[in-house]
Structure 1
Amino acid sequence: MGQPRPVRIVVVDPQPLFSRGLAMLLPSMSGGRAEVIATTCAASDAATTVRRYRPELALVDLGLPAPGGLRAISAIRRTEPAAAVIAMAREDDHEPALRAVHAGARGVLSKTAEPEDLLTPLLALIEGWAVLPGPVLEHLAATGGAARRLRDQLCDADRRLWRLLSTGRTLAQIATELHVSERTVKRLTATLLRRLGVGTRTEAAALAGQSGVLDEVAPPPGRPAMG
């Protein structure tokens, strides 16, 4: 078997030197698992760039000039929902990071002066882990009690879907495991997120750890009967 194709990344950052440094460092330090295929300095160009290059991941600085990083994330999620969005935020400013998660960001990295400082958490995200600042996790976990109560009201199939959504699997992988179409997975996911009272998979993953659903033994595989 050949080497798997590297994860392709678009960087949306106001500092060209930062983007260039990340593009130079990432292929070698990731062992060829990731590469930067395009960059832009403007929030207004973010969605267009992502739509043109169709990366697996978009790295967006929340400190972008107007219309800003949050608008860029929302635009990317609308125009290219298959691309996972990772926000970059200052360590001392957690409110924008929380808003980025609500806007659909799969993770949040602390923006530092040196691109190499981002590599370890970025590689963790590429491997499917959720990376969020502590205060953001604490905020999301505040609703953990409600999530535990709701967990007990969910059927086995819904809890199984919750586990799958929280372990970094793609929609295609979930569809294969559940023996349903990707369209059905999207519908079931939307229904589950409403039941959990969250807006994104990242929030659902954060609540999964608090609810205890990840500690449950998965039921035997088979065709689910989800409502």
Structure 2
Amino acid sequence: MDGGKLIVVIVDDHDLFTQGLALLLDSRVGDRISVAGSTSRPEEAAALVGSTGAELAIVDLAMPPIGGVAAIRHIKSRHPDTRILALSGTTDRGLAEEALRAGADGYLSKSADPDTLVAPLLSVAAGFRVLEPDLLTALLDGIRRPPETILQRLDTEEMRLWGLLARGAETIEIAERMLVSERTAKRMIAALLHKLGVANRAEAAGLAGYYGLIDRPKDADV
């Protein structure tokens, strides 16, 4: 702390953004935050944090040559207690995931009004994690999506069959919905259970529930 103030550094290669954000923080929360320094070189980020004793670093992800994600890793490896708010001018979910895995404590879009960064920054400094709602939804959807190893093994009809099993459809109903004989339906079910690596219909239904395949209306085709 600098006289009781939170020590912040900014790692961003856009000088105007850096200067504007520093001025904004000084005018809005200058009594609680002190911007101790900035750098436009991600490879210098960890050293800047060390020399200033920064408790929070604001890191832009799109910085050559090594990028903001690498800067976050360097900071966290040398100064694990330093909180990090990652900023990006893109909507690349993959980049957001990389930043969070590298140790970022929050992720926000730079397209937002700079004025809106103050509250999230203070939340990150207080120990909370901050994500934009759309990104959080996308990440959660990604977590619940069946892994590619399963999706690659199942064709469209098998995915539909899995959904019917998940909703508790009996064999005769499955046969009617899939336009096959009851005997064929039984064979298809057995083949699907084998591909999913489960012992019975209940386990297949549980797996479907985990991956969100039974969140659709009950009368909808899968």
Q: Please give the alpha-carbon distance, in whole angstroms, between the structure 2 residues aligned to 1:58 and 1:102.
A: 16
Deviation at 1:11, TM superposition (A): 0.3
Deviation at 1:47, TM superposition (A): 1.1
Q: Please give the alpha-carbon distance, in whole angstroms, between the structure 2 residues aligned to 1:114 and 1:94.
A: 20
Amino acid at match of 2:132: P
Q: Please give the alpha-carbon distance, in whole angstroms, between the structure 2 residues aligned to 1:143 and 1:23.
A: 35
Counterpart in 1 of 2:57?
58
Amino acid at match of 2:104: A
Counterpart in 2 of 1:89?
88
Per-residue CA deviation, residues 184-218 of structure 1 (Å, 9 max, x unaligned), is xxxxxxxxxxxxxxxxxxxxxxxxxxxxxxxxxxx
**Structure 1: 5+ residue runs without aligned partners?**
146-227
Which secondary structure state, in structure 1, belongs to the residue aligned with residue 130 of structure 2?
coil
* Range moving further from structure 2, 134-143 or 43-52: 134-143
Per-residue CA deviation, residues 49-70 of structure 1 (Å, 9 max, x unaligned), is 1111111101100011111101
Deviation at 1:20, TM superposition (A): 1.4
Counterpart in 2 of 1:129?
128
Q: How many residues align?
A: 143
Counterpart in 2 of 1:21?
20
Q: Please give the alpha-carbon distance, in whole angstroms, between the structure 1 residues aligned to 2:84 and 2:32.
A: 17
TM-score (norm 1): 0.56
CA change 1:116–1:143 in 2 (3 A) is closer
Amino acid at match of 2:91: D
Counterpart in 1 of 2:213?
none
Deviation at 1:116, TM superposition (A): 2.8
Amino acid at match of 1:37: A
**Structure 2: 5+ residue runs without aligned partners?**
145-222
Counterpart in 1 of 2:107?
108
Q: Please give the alpha-carbon distance, in whole angstroms, between the structure 2 residues aligned to 1:69 and 1:144.
A: 24
| 1:5-84 correspondence runs (5 A) | 5-30=4-29, 32-84=31-83
Which secondary structure state, in structure 2, belongs to the residue aligned with residue 18 of structure 1?
helix
Per-residue CA deviation, residues 119-157 of structure 1 (Å, 9 max, x unaligned), is 232233234332113344235435888xxxxxxxxxxxx
Q: Is the 8 A contact 1:94 1:135 kept in 2?
A: no
TM-score (norm 2): 0.57
Two-structure CA RMSD over aligned residues (Å):
2.5
Deviation at 1:27, TM superposition (A): 2.6
Structure ranking higher on relative contact order (CA contacts 8 Å, 6+ apart)? 1
* Structure of higher CA gyration radius: 2
